[in-house]
């Protein structure tokens, strides 16, 4: 197993956090993992992204030119990374903020109204969790239970945030699973 | 201790504490600020002292003083800051004091940029400051190795009474990976330093100095230092990957680039191209004998680094005419992708490339 995932959005949308959750959960599942933030000047005000690699053997490059998975929370991120995704890979698109779908036909597209679903769950701030949930629902890369376990650790000092984030994660997961089932049927 | 997911910079900071170091003097600079940030929190918790100095020049001289007093002491900086410390490092090397210095390299010259670079190879391995001195230089390739080498660096510095430098870049510093710390040491359990200036009551005074006005005395001192640098060869470290049973091309790379090379090697293996990796872990002393042995089993050598060809000069000097040596470098904070590097290596194997920079 070897998987590169890029998560991207505006600064403040929480892409670094969902990357950490994915890496942490992967580590707990016995995978070799790396988490690499883009730390260049582009972080200020512009788009923000991180790369997570999960593998059965020690990870080489922590950067990715050809990711297997992509989670995009805003349009500039889709524009930037769409062409990089490997054929057969998966793109999760936050359709609340992105008014187009990927043009490519050789990839799995998982549209999810991440902000809308997060607002229903209690706060738009959890849109990142919805998107991560959708990605896991579609790819099964790590178990959603593992993410929930990690979530409890990461939010240990603010436990009241845990249920809300769990709900957002679960809603997203259901969307991702349904999309994967629908595209398998097509 | 259980495995934790940590940034390279934080792991270096924690490793210094685990090694029994309780003093940090430094000045902020990107991309290594997570080291002082982490230590400013952690050192007070363990009874240590964190000082943000007024400049790098001040910080390195604080190291000089603390080390002279027999304490384990540590600083970190990035390229321009290391240049400011170069004078102090020369004095520390001349006075034979153990200190550990981390350089999370960024693109230069001058202020350059903040993104990953390996363009301080010359500065780290050939001296950096004035005078005939060397640092023992270690180059980690993973967060785990950054932690392990940081702990080891303090022992090596004490053993040789010489500054030890750890060179990495923002890729290693900013990346998170699982890390596990080996059992640490407390400052009380460290070996005595009978040479330290700890107060001369009841004994002859110790003198720590780098001034040798008599040329005969300075010459003797220079040769003594030289002998010490030769002895450091005992602690040479390197790693081979995919080189068993020979390879079509042997890539020489260190630090972050070595791990990108591993991915490139795996990509080329799927195409049936056998590529090996020789990764020096000590950059000074350089694992020259091991490299000579490794090239026996390959047709050609390929050096890749984040500079216009600094380690390349050492590799060429070692390999000589024995094998052709080609080169691929990215600079300015640009980092080669694994696919990009694989393509460059493949071109050399198939003879389709005009080598860069040679």
**Does residue B354 surpass a pLDDT of 70?**
no
Q: At what angle do helices A144-154 and A15-28 cross, to 10 degrees?
A: 110
Mean pLDDT for B276-294 is: 98
Do residues A97 and A75 make contact, with C-beta atoms less than 8 angstroms apart?
Answer: yes
Mean pLDDT for B60-86 is: 98
- Determine which of B107, B116, B263, B332 to mutate to test the interface with A (most A C-beta atoms within 10 Å): B263
- So what's the ipTM on this one? 0.94
In chain B, the percentage of residues whose pLDDT exceeds 90 is 96
Q: Which residues of B touch A64 (CB under 8 A)?
A: 337
Nearest CA-CA distance, residue B280 and chain A, Å:
16
Asked if the Cβ–Cβ distance from A24 to B337 is below 8 Å, we say: no
> Which pLDDT belongs to residue B308?
98
Of B115, B175, B340, the CB nearest to A62: B175
Three-class SS state of B275: strand
Nearest CA-CA distance, residue B353 and chain A, Å:
22
Query: Which of A179, A181, A154 is closest to A165 using CA atoms?
Result: A154
DSSP 8-state class, residue B266: H
Q: What angle do CA B70, B76, B238 make, to 5 degrees?
A: 90
Mean pLDDT for B29-37 is: 97
pLDDT tens for each residue of chain A, 186 residues long: 999 999 999 988 999 999 999 999 999 999 999 999 997 765 555 789 999 999 999 999 999 999 999 999 999 999 999 999 999 999 999 999 999 999 999 999 999 999 999 999 999 999 999 999 999 999 999 999 999 999 999 898 999 999 999 999 999 999 999 999 998 887
Reported in sequence order, the residue ranges of chain B that DSSP labels E, i.e. its strands, are 4-7, 23-26, 49-52, 73-77, 100-105, 136-138, 164-169, 176-179, 238-241, 247-252, 275-280, 282-284, 298-305, 325-329
Cα Rg of chain B (Å, integer): 21
Q: For domain B4-234, is the CATH number 3.40.50.970?
A: yes
Asked if the Cβ–Cβ distance from B5 to A65 is below 8 Å, we say: no
Mean pLDDT for B272-290 is: 98
Residue B184's pLDDT band, with cuts at 50, 70 and 90, is very high
Q: How far is CA B172 from CA A66, A77, B168, B256, in A?
A: 21, 24, 6, 6
> Which pLDDT belongs to residue A42?
59
Q: Is B262 on the interface with A (CB under 8 A)?
A: yes
Q: Which residues of A touch B171 (CB under 8 A)?
A: 36, 62-63
Asked if the Cβ–Cβ distance from B176 to A35 is below 8 Å, we say: yes
DSSP 8-state class, residue B116: B
Asked if the Cβ–Cβ distance from B5 to A24 is below 8 Å, we say: yes
Q: Which residues of A touch B107 (CB under 8 A)?
A: none
- One CATH from 3.40.50.920, 3.10.20.30, 3.40.50.1580, 2.40.340.10 for B238-350: 3.40.50.920
Q: At what angle do helices B143-160 and B8-18 cross, to 10 degrees?
A: 40
> Which pLDDT belongs to residue A114?
98
CA atoms within 13 A on the CB side of B332: 2
Asked if the Cβ–Cβ distance from A61 to B263 is below 8 Å, we say: yes
> Which pLDDT belongs to residue B358?
45
Q: Which overall architecture, per CATH, does domain A2-185 show? A: 3-Layer(aba) Sandwich (3.40)
Of A27, A61, A65, the CB nearest to B5: A27
Asked if the Cβ–Cβ distance from A61 to B176 is below 8 Å, we say: no
Asked if the Cβ–Cβ distance from A36 to B175 is below 8 Å, we say: yes
> Which pLDDT belongs to residue B351?
87
Do residues B267 and B339 make contact, with C-beta atoms less than 8 angstroms apart?
Answer: yes
Of B31, B174, B266, the CB nearest to A60: B266
Of A24, A27, A60, the CB nearest to B262: A60
Mean pLDDT for B49-73 is: 98
Domain spans of chain B, in order of start: 4-234, 238-350
> Which pLDDT belongs to residue A34?
98
Nearest CA-CA distance, residue B259 and chain A, Å:
4
In degrees rounded to 5, what are phi and psi of residue B60? -70, -30
- Determine which of B5, B254, B345 to mutate to test the interface with A (most A C-beta atoms within 10 Å): B5
Q: What is the pLDDT of residues B138-163, one digit of tens each?
A: 999 999 999 999 999 999 999 999 99
Give the number of beta-carbon pairs within 8 Å between A and B: 68
Asked if the Cβ–Cβ distance from B178 to A61 is below 8 Å, we say: no
Asked if the Cβ–Cβ distance from B338 to A63 is below 8 Å, we say: yes
Do residues A165 and A127 make contact, with C-beta atoms less than 8 angstroms apart?
Answer: no
**Does residue B355 surpass a pLDDT of 60?**
no
Q: What is the pLDDT of residues B107-150, one digit of tens each?
A: 999 999 999 999 999 999 998 999 999 999 999 999 999 999 99
- Determine which of A4, A17, A63 to mutate to test the interface with B (most B C-beta atoms within 10 Å): A63
> Which pLDDT belongs to residue A12?
87
Mean pLDDT for B207-232 is: 98
Q: At what angle do helices B288-295 and B311-319 cross, to 10 degrees?
A: 60
Domain spans of chain A, in order of start: 2-185
DSSP 8-state class, residue B205: P
- Mean residue pLDDT of chain B comes to 96
> Which pLDDT belongs to residue B356?
63
Of A27, A33, A62, the CB nearest to B171: A62
Q: What is the pLDDT of residues B221-273, one digit of tens each?
A: 999 999 999 999 999 999 999 999 999 999 999 999 999 999 999 999 999 99
Nearest CA in chain A to B170: A39
């Amino acid at each position: 197993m070897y998987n590169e995932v890029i998560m991207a959005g505006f600064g403040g949308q929480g892409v670094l956090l969902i990357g950490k959750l994915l890496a942490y959960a992967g580590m707990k599942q016995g995978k070799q993992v790396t988490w690499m933030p883009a730390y260049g000047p582009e972080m200020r005000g512009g788009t923000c992204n991180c790369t997570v690699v999960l593998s059965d053997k020690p990870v080489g490059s922590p950067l990715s030119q050809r990711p297997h998975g992509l989670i995009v929370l805003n349009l500039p991120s889709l524009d930037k990374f769409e062409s990089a995704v490997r054929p057969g890979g998966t793109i999760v698109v936050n359709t609340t903020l992105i008014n187009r779908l990927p043009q490519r036909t050789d990839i799995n597209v998982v549209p999810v109204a991440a902000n809308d679903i997060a607002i229903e769950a209690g706060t738009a701030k959890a849109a990142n969790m919805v998107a991560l949930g959708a990605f896991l629902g579609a790819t099964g890369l790590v178990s959603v239970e593992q993410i929930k376990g990690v979530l409890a650790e990461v939010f240990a000092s603010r436990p009241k945030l845990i249920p809300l984030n769990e709900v957002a994660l679960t809603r997203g997961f259901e969307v991702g699973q349904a999309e994967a089932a629908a595209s398998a049927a097509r | 201790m259980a495995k934790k997911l940590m940034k390279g910079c934080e792991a270096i900071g924690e490793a210094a504490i685990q090694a029994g170091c309780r003093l940090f003097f430094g000045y902020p600079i990107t991309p290594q600020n997570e080291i002082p940030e982490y230590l400013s929190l952690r050192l007070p918790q363990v009874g240590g002292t964190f000082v943000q100095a007024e400049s790098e020049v001040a910080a390195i001289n604080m190291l000089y003083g603390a080390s002279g007093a027999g304490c384990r002491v540590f600083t970190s900086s990035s390229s321009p800051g290391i240049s400011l410390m170069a004078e102090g490092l020369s004095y520390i090397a001349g006075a034979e004091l153990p200190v550990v210095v981390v350089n999370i390299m960024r693109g230069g010259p001058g202020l350059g940029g903040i993104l990953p670079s390996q363009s301080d190879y010359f500065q780290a391995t050939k001296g950096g400051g004035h005078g005939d001195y060397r640092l023992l230089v270690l180059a980690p390739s993973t967060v785990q190795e950054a932690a392990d080498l940081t702990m080891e660096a303090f022992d090596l510095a004490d053993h040789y009474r010489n500054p030890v430098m750890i060179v990495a870049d923002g890729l290693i510093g900013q990346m998170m990976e699982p890390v596990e710390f080996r059992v640490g040491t407390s400052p009380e359990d460290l070996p005595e330093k009978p040479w330290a200036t700890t107060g001369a009551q009841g004994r002859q005074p110790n003198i720590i100095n780098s001034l040798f006005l008599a040329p005969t005395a300075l010459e003797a001192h220079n040769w003594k230092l030289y002998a010490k640098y030769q002895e450091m060869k005992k602690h040479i470290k390197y790693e081979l990957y995919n080189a068993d049973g020979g390879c079509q091309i042997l890539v020489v790379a260190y630090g972050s680039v070595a791990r990108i090379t591993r991915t490139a090697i795996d990509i080329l293996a799927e195409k049936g191209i056998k590529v090996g990796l020789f990764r020096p872990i000590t950059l000074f002393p350089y694992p020259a004998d091991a490299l000579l042995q490794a090239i026996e089993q390959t047709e050609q050598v390929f050096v890749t680094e984040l500079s216009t060809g600094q380690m390349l000069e050492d590799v060429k000097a070692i390999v000589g005419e024995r094998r052709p040596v080609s080169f691929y470098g990215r600079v300015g904070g640009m980092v080669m992708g694994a696919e990009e590097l694989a393509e460059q290596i493949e071109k050399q194997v198939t003879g389709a490339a005009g080598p860069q920079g040679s």
